[in-house]
Amino acid sequence: MIQTEEFGNMLLLDGMVMTTEKDEFVYHEMIVYVPLYTHPNPQKVLVVGGGDGGTIREVLKHPSVTNVVQVKIDEKVVEYSKQHLPNIASEYSNPRVELSVGDGFMHILNSEDEYDVILVDSTEPVGPAANLFTKGFYAGISKALKENSIFVAQTDNPWFKGDLIRDAIHDTKEIFPIARLYTCNIPTYPSGLWTFTLGAKTHDPLDVNVSRFFDLDTKNYTPELHKASFVLPKFV
């Protein structure tokens, strides 16, 4: 953890920026709101990774959600975030949150027909996280999801990880009837342009009825941005 003048407290893992107090809301709102607004009634949500707590914070703003299971391989990141990023890691005492310390890959493989939404808020595809970017993992996600459900995974930036993104969307298309790629802009991440891969069994995020969007205290996400985020630069 380092303190910066422009971005406040900044969490780094292995020298790479994971999140900052100033711009974290962009990432966390986009990984959460797009799938949870696409699903008509999300109740049980799984978060793989996301140790800073921002993803579960945003999930819990959705009134239909009754249970959030977070699987994190290293609890130290969670405890560190509680201490140094309290505004981000603010919901770990919420009774709807269940924190499980373990391997997200194995948790997925051992789950079946259980979750409405799965969010893969992982680090770079190295070490234990490498398995979270494989076709086998996406197939496991499909099995762990209930009928008519959705998953989203962060899939890095198109400037330096184009092959990873192409593989992710290709593998998702082979497993899910609906596969989409969407983006957002995060100043402290490499290149600033970030992607998310979405797989859905039934509900297309481009066909969302914006009239059902309820009023949330967001800083970035809007119904208009929801659809606009799927408009990709030509090189992507």
Query: For the residues of 101-162, what is the DSSP string, one character each?
Result: ES-HHHHHHT--S-EEEEEEE---SSGGGGGGGSHHHHHHHHHHEEEEEEEEEE---TTT-H
List, for residues 170-227, the tens digit of each pLDDT value: 999 999 999 999 999 999 999 999 999 999 999 999 998 776 677 778 999 998 999 9
Tell whether 103 is in a known binding site.
Answer: yes
What is the greatest pairwise CA distance in the chain?
A: 47
Single pTM value for the model: 0.94
Domain covering 28-184+195-228: architecture: 3-Layer(aba) Sandwich (3.40)
List, for residues 146-179, the tens digit of each pLDDT value: 999 999 999 999 999 999 999 999 999 999 999 9
Active-site choice (116, 121, 156, 171):
121
How far apart, in whole angstroms, are the C-alpha atoms of residue 215 and residue 65?
Answer: 16
H-helix segments, the chain? 24-38, 54-59, 75-84, 104-109, 135-144, 162-175, 223-228
Domain extent listing, the chain? 28-184+195-228
Tell whether 124 is in a known binding site.
Answer: yes
User: Does residue 85 carry a pLDDT above 80?
Assistant: yes
- The yes-or-no answer on residue 121 being catalytic is yes
Tell whether 203 is in a known binding site.
Answer: no
